[in-house]
Amino acid sequence: MGHTYDLARVQTTPDFSTDVVGAARNFLGFSWVVGFIVLSGYCIARSTANPSQPFSVRRYVRLRVSRIFPLLAVAACITAIFEYLMMGSTHRPPLWPDGLTPVTFLGAMMGLSGFVGQFGSLAPSYTISYELFFYGVWGLLLVLLRSQNLAWWIGLGLAGIAYLAGTYSEALFGDKAGTVSTLVTVLMPWLFMLLLIWLMGAGLFFQETRFRRWLRGVPPLFPWLAWLVFSIIGAGNGGHPLFAQSRGMALWFYLGLAALFCIAIAASLAAEHSSNPPWLDRWLGEISYPIFLIHGPVIVFAGYLLHRYHVNLPFFAYFGTCLAASLLAAILLVLGIERPIMRWRRRFRAKKLPA
């Protein structure tokens, strides 16, 4: 919704609905990516917790690769087709126009856009690079330490040290700081801050029983209201949006958001009375990755078609049309790609798990 707003705002004449949606824009973007990172840490820690079976690198890699790359490859190819059709046209919306090279295409296919550069309208998928980094760190720690709890503590310590080293590199290195690469001064603090958030999600799994006991009887709505209040306060104090002037403020803002996501997840788990989740939860879980990948190329291509064929819509109609197009594309990906892959993965996991 946030990216669709960005597109519709520059492609239409502003009106009252532009202001209404715009007021919520700060709460439609990266804040929810923080929640996704927390969920990822929780899910990966849970999937690798099997006391009766030693950690298998081969199985771990196979499950991670089969989850991330088939749909990513399809989305990258769709993006390449759309960008080819729009190439050189003045009708292409000015959203994510850069990075249309073979290198960035291959980087997108390999999940490396966060490191080698974004590929056109597939730009929002750059965070997959960080996700793969988290998987790699966690897998390496499990191989070396053979203990999830120890891996969590060591990972937390190393991520904190790396964050501080990158953030305060100028103070640490003095006049030599100019020779420290952007990798250390910019990417490293950002990457390891996100790793801290990912590890918070993993920590939620380790302490799930305790959290459920603490939050039993607490309506899940309450943590979400606290999240909203915290987001509003953060927005007013420079912690939000993404690239805040103060790195320290950004760190505490995003760690605070992550903590509230952990509490909201735990409250929802504590409120569950059945192992069968509601259909809406299942549907959101199923469609989240497809819509994350495909929404960028679809809304840009939809905007291109509307402009090329001179379809002049007011803001909210334009916004709704692009949003509906991305939702429809995500549903098609679920039916055609996601569900078959998930069925295959379940068969694979069933064969490997002990009876």
pLDDT in tens, 233-268: 766 554 444 444 455 566 778 888 889 988 888 888
Provide the pLDDT for residue 72. Answer: 94
CB 280 within 8 A of CB 71: no
Binned at pLDDT 50, 70 and 90, residue 274 comes out as low
Rounded (5°) CA angle 196-294-350:
65
Provide the pLDDT for residue 249. Answer: 64
Binned at pLDDT 50, 70 and 90, residue 273 comes out as low
Q: Minimal CA–CA distance to 94: which of 11, 30, 38, 152?
A: 11
pLDDT in tens, 322-337: 999 999 999 999 999 8
pLDDT at 49 over 50: yes
pLDDT in tens, 105-138: 999 999 999 888 899 999 999 989 989 999 999 9
Rounded (5°) CA angle 339-340-343:
85
Q: Minimal CA–CA distance to 8: which of 348, 235, 324, 289?
A: 324
Provide the pLDDT for residue 243. Answer: 41
Cis peptide, bond prior to residue 241, ω within 30 of zero? yes
Per the rule left: phi > 0, alpha: psi between -120 and 50, beta: everything else, 72 is alpha
Percent of the chain residues topping a pLDDT of 90:
33
Who wins on pLDDT, 231 or 144?
Answer: 144
pLDDT at 275 over 70: no
Who wins on pLDDT, 113 or 179?
Answer: 113
pLDDT at 62 over 80: yes
Per-residue tokens: 66: 């089969």
pLDDT in tens, 7-32: 988 888 888 888 888 777 767 777 78
Cα–Cα distance, 156 to 150 (Å, whole number): 10
Provide the pLDDT for residue 245. Answer: 45
Who wins on pLDDT, 310 or 169?
Answer: 310
Distances (CA, A) of 86 to 83, 108, 121, 163: 5, 19, 11, 40
Cα–Cα distance, 338 to 341 (Å, whole number): 5
